């Protein structure tokens, strides 16, 4: 049997990935259109959403000053807060996770405290952070940090404890110092665990910022959704939720992609 050309094989692979969710999406939109077309429907139909929010959909980059901005600027503001809080959480979570995984004494002393703190809902920290920072932006960043640090920390510590004893023996024979042990043994061995924590953390961060911005106000996708609710503009809310879902999916894919590259590099 003759082999397919390379581009045909790639096209077949892409179609196998894209067509099933695309068909399902079309079916769901069609069912939604039918269910929301009646006079007593509580939510607008997709066609009505496009009609009512057409300007918002086709021009996400408008900026009329103040809080009257397109969805691009609201999402950018939210992503900026998420990026800052998540970056701090990644550094703190990985380093603390390595400490807990390496030191039995640190695990005994800190793990019970961390287990208590991680069960506190993220938004419960918002009043305390507002009182401490007296500004909404660092308060939101702190909420992101406190939300995403726990899965990163826990997964990293589990990964460090799972390092085979043979690796540790080799490090002892080679007399690696702490820094060499971290970069040559710990980091390559724990990449899958670290990036599992990072993927969970970025997802939780994106969830938390939406809720936090509803409370702190200002430019941000969470505030946009809350403001649209106060204006009884359900169509704008649904459009914003579509953007939120797409951005969250992209964030997860980016972290997963970087994790795959790092895993390949660790094996090389």
Are 66 and 126 in contact by the 8 Å Cβ rule? The answer is: no
Residue 35 makes CB contacts below 8 A (sequence gap 6+) with: 41
Between residues 166 and 75, the one the model is more confident about: 75
Residue 2 included in any domain: no
Residue 61 included in any domain: no
Residue 52 included in any domain: no
pLDDT at residue number 4? 52
Residue 178 included in any domain: yes
Residue 1 pLDDT more than 50? Answer: no
Number of domains in the chain: 1
Q: What percent of the chain has pLDDT over 90?
A: 54
CATH number at residue 183: 1.10.3720.10
Residue 266 pLDDT more than 70? Answer: no
**CA within 13 Å, CB half, 157:** 21
Measure the CA–CA gap between 29 and 205, rounded to whole angstroms.
28
Measure the CA–CA gap between 139 and 105, rounded to whole angstroms.
32
Residue 71 included in any domain: yes
Give the DSSP per-residue string, 207-254.
HHHHHHHHHH-SSSHHHHHHHHHHTT-HHHHHHHHHHHHHHHHHHHHH
pLDDT at residue number 244? 94
Residue 187 makes CB contacts below 8 A (sequence gap 6+) with: 266
Neighbours of 145 (CB within 10 A): 24
Between residues 9 and 19, the one the model is more confident about: 19
pLDDT at residue number 6? 67
Residue 154 included in any domain: yes
Residue 54 included in any domain: no
Query: Which 3 state secondary structure label does DSSP give 69?
Result: strand
Residue 5 pLDDT more than 90? Answer: no
Q: Rounded mean pLDDT of 230-248?
A: 93
Domain range for residue 121? 67-267
How does the average pLDDT of the chain come out, rounded? 88
Q: What percent of the chain has pLDDT over 70?
A: 96
Residue 9 included in any domain: no
Query: Which 3 state secondary structure label does DSSP give 63?
Result: strand
Between residues 10 and 157, the one the model is more confident about: 157
Residue 167 pLDDT more than 60? Answer: yes
pLDDT at residue number 233? 92
Report H helices in 118-233. Answer: 126-133, 136-161, 165-174, 178-181, 187-216, 221-230
Measure the CA–CA gap between 13 and 98, rounded to whole angstroms.
39
Give ∠ CA 181-186-189 in degrees, rounded to 5.
135
Name which of 156, 172, 180, 176 is nearest 102 in CA terms: 156
């Amino acid at each position: 049997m003759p082999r397919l050309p390379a581009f045909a094989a790639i096209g077949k692979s892409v179609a196998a990935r894209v067509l099933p969710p695309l068909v399902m999406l079309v079916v769901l939109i069609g069912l939604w259109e039918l269910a929301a077309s009646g006079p007593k429907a509580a939510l607008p139909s997709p066609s009505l959403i496009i009609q009512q929010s057409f300007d918002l959909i086709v021009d996400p980059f408008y900026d009329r000053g103040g809080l009257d901005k397109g969805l691009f600027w609201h999402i950018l503001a939210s992503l900026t807060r998420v990026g800052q809080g998540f970056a701090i959480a990644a550094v703190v979570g990985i380093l603390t996770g390595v400490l807990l995984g390496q030191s039995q004494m640190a695990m005994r002393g800190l793990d019970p405290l961390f287990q208590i703190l991680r069960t506190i809902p993220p938004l419960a920290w918002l009043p305390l952070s507002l009182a401490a920072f007296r500004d909404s932006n660092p308060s939101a960043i702190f909420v992101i940090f406190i939300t995403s640090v726990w899965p990163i920390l826990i997964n990293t510590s589990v990964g460090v404890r799972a390092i085979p004893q043979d690796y540790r023996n080799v490090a002892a024979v080679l007399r690696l110092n702490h820094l060499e042990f971290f970069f040559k043994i710990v980091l390559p061995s724990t990449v899958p665990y670290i990036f599992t924590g990072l993927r969970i953390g970025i997802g939780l961060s994106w969830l938390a910022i939406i809720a936090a911005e509803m409370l702190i106000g200002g430019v941000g996708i969470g505030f946009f959704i809350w403001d649209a609710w106060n204006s009884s503009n359900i169509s704008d809310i649904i459009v914003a939720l579509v953007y939120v879902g797409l951005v969250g999916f992209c964030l997860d894919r980016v972290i997963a992609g970087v994790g795959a590259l790092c895993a390949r590099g660790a094996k090389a």
